[in-house]
């Protein structure tokens, strides 16, 4: 069931989203070779507490951390750990912020130190893919229009779109209807309506889209060991077009 949000609810989600965006900007400043993803996780938890917010992922379905931190071939739901990040790594930090009950969800891929030109291009295309999707998040379009636009762009660039994880409706709980696949057919699926709050979060692989989940039951990684990147925004469908809630 799709629950539409009032203007006031969207305003509150936007406040949560703006705090999240500032948090990502702070992460960008501290990411460098030698820092651990557990350090980043503590930083995020502390940052949110200082700003009167909480990390919604912690405790969600038994998940133990404030963030997901997915390095190199990890697609999503990587556990923060004590291993230092190395020069040349890419890492996606994903988090959901709860500010007074309103939620916002955003993931960002970061370069650690100096990365290869091929990794750089993957980040650029993945970031571009997010915006290809957002552009289509317009009243009257269908969910398939978002996925189709992302998939066409990504495959033209020689990369693949992860199938096993999708965007989703959001707020008051993390995952609500509808699912938002990052692949699909134009003109298919549910029609987008004013007041929908959704995430668009393409996970894009250098090689095949196939993933497998680690024995920890959470962490998905590429089956071929090649890189995966992700950018995610929470977006409201409004009469004025897509409103990106997780931008500062
Ligand atoms: N932020 C993730 C998403 O985009 C949520 C991960 S679920 C968690 O859907 F339990 F890992 F937090
Ligand atoms: Co999400």
Give the model confidence (pLDDT) of 222-235 as tens digits.
999 999 999 999 99
Sheet holding 241-244, edge to edge: 176-180, 167-169, 197-200, 233-238, 241-244
Q: How far is the CA of 219 from the centre of ligand 1 (A)?
A: 11
Best of 37, 76, 103, 170 for a ligand 1 pocket test (most atoms within 8 Å of beta carbon): 76
Phi, psi for residue 161 in degrees, rounded to 5:
-100, 125
Q: Is 73 near ligand 1, meaning CB less than 6 Å away?
A: no
Q: How far is the CA of 116 from the centre of ligand 1 (A)?
A: 28
How many other CB atoms sit within 10 Å of the CB of residue 223?
Answer: 14
Q: How far is the CA of 166 from the centre of ligand 2 (A)?
A: 8
Give the model confidence (pLDDT) of 129-151 as tens digits.
999 999 999 999 999 999 999 99
Determine the pLDDT at residue 199.
99
> E strands along 100-202, which residues?
102-111, 160-161, 167-169, 176-180, 197-200
Query: Reduced to 3 states, what is the DSSP secondary structure of residue 222?
Result: strand
Best of 45, 97, 98, 105 for a ligand 1 pocket test (most atoms within 8 Å of beta carbon): 105
Q: Structure pTM? A: 0.98
Q: Which atom of ligand 1 is nearest to the CA of 218?
A: 11
Distance (Å, whole) CA 168 – CA 181: 8
Asked whether the bond before 12 is cis by omega within 30 degrees of 0, the reply is no
Q: Is 104 near ligand 1, meaning CB less than 6 Å away?
A: no
Q: How confident is the model at residue 239 (pLDDT cuts 50, 70, 90)?
A: very high
Phi, psi for residue 112 in degrees, rounded to 5:
-100, 115
In the numeric block, the tokens 């190199």 are attached to: 72
Q: How far is the CA of 179 from the centre of ligand 1 (A)?
A: 13
Structural domains of the chain sorted by starting position, each given as residue range(s) with its CATH number in brackets: 7-244 (3.90.230.10)
CB-based contact 143:190 (threshold 8 Å): yes
């Amino acid at each position: 069931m799709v629950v539409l949000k009032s203007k006031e609810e969207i305003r509150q989600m936007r406040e949560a989203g703006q705090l999240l965006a500032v948090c990502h900007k702070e992460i960008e400043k501290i990411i460098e070779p030698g820092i651990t993803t557990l350090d980043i996780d503590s930083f995020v938890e502390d940052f949110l507490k200082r700003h009167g917010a909480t990390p919604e992922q912690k405790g969600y379905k038994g998940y133990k951390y404030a963030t997901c931190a997915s390095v190199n071939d990890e697609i999503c739901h990587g556990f923060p750990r004590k291993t230092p990040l190395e020069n040349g790594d890419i890492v996606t930090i994903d988090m959901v912020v709860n500010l007074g009950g309103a939620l916002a969800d955003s993931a960002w891929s970061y370069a650690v130190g100096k990365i290869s030109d091929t990794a750089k291009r993957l980040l650029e295309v993945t970031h571009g893919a997010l915006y290809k999707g957002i552009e289509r998040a317009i009243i009257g379009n269908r969910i398939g229009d978002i996925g189709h636009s992302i998939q066409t762009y990504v495959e033209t660039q020689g990369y693949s779109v992860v199938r096993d994880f999708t965007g989703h409706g959001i707020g008051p709980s993390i995952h609500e209807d509808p699912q938002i696949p990052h692949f699909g057919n134009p003109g298919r699926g549910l029609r987008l309506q004013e007041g929908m709050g959704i995430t668009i979060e393409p996970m894009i692989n250098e090689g095949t889209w196939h993933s497998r989940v680690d024995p920890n039951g959470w962490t998905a990684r590429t089956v071929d060991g090649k890189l995966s990147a992700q950018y995610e925004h929470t977006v409201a469908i409004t009469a004025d077009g897509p409103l990106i809630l997780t931008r500062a």
